[in-house]
Amino acid sequence: MTITRGAVAPDFELRNQHGQTVSLQELLSRRAVLVVFIPLAFSPVCAVEVAQLNDWHDIAASAGVEVVVVSVDSVATLRAWSDDTGFRLSLLSDFWPHGAVAKQFGVFLEDKGFARRASFLIDHDGVVQSIIESPLGETRAFSDYERAIVALTSDSDS
């Protein structure tokens, strides 16, 4: 079952493309977090989407949101992808146990072996405030991300 809006996000620890352990709890201690699940590194739609997220990273950061990308690819694959593209985003490997974090969020596609295209905006308290999804062959709309972040920052100002 997919995590729903208003639910507490499951904590996780994954290694990024540099082999460093990143935990959701640690990230949330500093700011809100946008967890972006992608199917596979180097695939055309994922490459376009992550490049857009990378370009948009500073805007999200200025709004108090950390963006992390999660895929079932290995750390080595994510490092090669990051080195090849110059991505500054934290690319997190959900490689082993295969797709465990995607399964916790309810977005792992068992028949395909990877996560569906879903993003979760999680506030400082660990509560999912927004979910943004798109079909596998389509990128998520950045206007949806922007609306979600504006709503999050408006709620925290109240």
Q: What is the dihedral of CA 13, 15, 20, 26, to 10 degrees?
A: -20
Which of 3, 34, 35, 46 is flagged as catalytic?
A: 46
Q: At what angle do helices 75-85 and 44-62 cross, to 10 degrees?
A: 80
Q: Which residue from 32, 40, 39 is spatially nearest to 9, judged by alpha carbons?
A: 32
102: left (phi over 0), alpha (psi -120 to 50) or beta: alpha
| Residue 148 near residue 132 (C-beta atoms within 8 A) | yes
Residue 25 annotated to the active site: no
| Residue 66 near residue 33 (C-beta atoms within 8 A) | yes
Q: Whose structure tokens read 């948009």?
A: 56
- Catalytic site positions: 46
